[in-house]
Amino acid sequence: MNLFESLRASLTSLRANKLRAVLTMSGIVMGTFLVFVMYSVGSSATGEAKKVITDLAPNAVGVVYGYFPVDMELSEVTFSPSEMLQHMEDLGTNLPLISSKLKPEMAYPLQRELPEGCLATPLSIDMKRVEFGSRSRNVFAYATNENYPAVRGQSLMRGRYFTARDEGRRVCVLGSGLNQRIFGDIDPVGREIRVNGRRFRVLGVLEPKGKTMFMDNDDMLLLPYWVGGHLGPDMTDGFLISAPTPEDMRDAKAVCTDVLERQVGEKTCTVITQEEMLALAADATRIVNLMSGIVTFVGLLVGGIGIMNIMLVAVSERIREIGIRKAMGAKATDILKQFLLESLLLGIAGGIIGILMGVAFLKAIEAIFNFPAYIGFVSILLALLFSMGVGIIFGVWPAMKAAALDPVEALGHEL
């Protein structure tokens, strides 16, 4: 019996036992669904995390209050969970979200000592309510200084940015998304809005920057640091520094560490480069992928065991059929091929259904949560190969059992 005849016999058998085929496929469908969704979500999260980090600033250096050991060689970060808890207790009220010894004015002496071409800006992020007329919106507000647009590589669409000459005034700059939602087609420059009930004059509007992960970078508000973030006007969450080259970025880290140790205290701040952020993100992604792989393996194992059990039942139900075929000249290899092909076809069909379910699920997640879904050739191929592999691997034993049946005993078998 050639391969084409074996395939035709397998399809005929599957059509004759539709319910059994559906039950057999169900495990593979869920296993493939898990493989496809886990890989796609993991790829999306990895890509978006890298985008968020690279979007911070060219060759960025971040500074936050509260010391946590970060090194390019992540294997050297040796905090155990108990040590981390103890470290948090030691920090006490100096945790970044509760208090800070970093002052926004420190950006200026820091700026003077940084390598040429580097720019520093303070950043204090808070959620604020913005109102204009009957329209209102809750947005992220960034308390910063005049270097922010240059650090982020963002230009103005209209108006101007606040500078040191505006010190003491309640002024602000709008993201393009916030401007559209609050003002629509009205020119906002020179108009007043309310920010948490206080009046602010709009100086300008930023050019669109786009979305990263769950954040709309245009739906935001920029305030001068002297009006204060959530920590007040005398404190800031940290600093963001941009550098012309990767070498300048590493030099900027050394300068920041030295200046802040002199001004704030030894090892009370964390200074991290963009390279280190990406390395930490990659490390976190590997952990997530490992956990996803374990979940996926369990799902495929369950699906594979389901295939094997139902195929074994199929063998026991078709013993007389196998005996008749062997008596008519079918070889053991022909029986083996037929059952393996049946198992493979179930794997392929289950894989296709699982992928289609995965695509629908990811599209729903993208629509509901605005999370970009990665649906690429690699994820589809990987899921399909997994489903085919499960079909073949877990179909081998039933196929071998069917092929090993004695034709005389099989013909005399009674159901």
Q: Are residues 188 and 333 in the same domain?
A: no
List residues bridging with 171 in a β-sheet.
Answer: 201
Is the residue at 322 inside a domain? yes
The partner residues of 180 in beta bridges, in order of sequence, read none
**Shared domain check, 256 and 121:** yes
Q: What's the length of the chain?
A: 415
Q: pLDDT band for position 268 (50/70/90)?
A: confident
Tell whether pTM > 0.75.
no
CA atoms within 13 A on the CB side of 367: 6
Residue at 95 is within a domain:
no
| Statement to judge: residues 7 and 155 lie in one domain | no
> Could you tell me the two tokens for 65?
């209050």
Mark residue 403 as left, alpha or beta (left: phi above 0; alpha: psi -120 to 50; beta: remaining). Answer: alpha
Average pLDDT, the chain: 80
Same-domain pairing of 175 and 246: yes
Question: Based on the domain organization, do 189 and 251 belong to the same domain?
Answer: yes
Mean predicted confidence (pLDDT) in 90-111: 67
Q: What is the count of structural domains for the chain?
A: 2
Are residues 189 and 327 both part of a single domain? no
Domain boundary among the residues 263, 293, 322 is at: 263
Say if 252 falls within a structural domain: yes
Task: Reply yes or no on whether the pLDDT at 97 is more than 50.
Answer: no
Locate 13 and state its tokens.
């058998």
Q: Taking every pair of C-alpha atoms in the chain, what is the biggest distance, in angstroms? A: 101
Q: Is the pLDDT of residue 129 over 90?
A: yes
Q: In terms of domains, do 250 and 300 share one?
A: no
Query: Residue 340 carries which side chain, given as an amino acid letter?
Result: L
Whether residues 373 and 330 share a domain: the answer is yes
201 and 123 in one domain? yes
Distance set, CA 186 to CA 124, 138, 176 (Å): 29, 20, 12
What confidence score (pLDDT) does residue 100 get?
67
Place of tokens 């196929």: 399
DSSP state of 232: B
Residue 74 lies in a domain: no
Q: CA–CA separation, 81 vs 280, rounded Å?
A: 17
Q: What is the mean pLDDT of residues 405-409?
A: 70
* Residue 42 belongs to domain spanning: 3-51+281-411
**Whether residues 259 and 301 fall in one domain:** no
Greater model confidence, 367 or 410: 367
Where do we find the tokens 């022909």? 334
Assess contact for 52 and 232: CB atoms under 8 A.
no
Helix/strand/coil for 73: coil
Q: How many CB atoms lie within 10 A of CB 233?
A: 16
> Do 341 and 224 belong to one domain?
no
Which of 231, 263, 295 is the endpoint of a domain?
A: 263
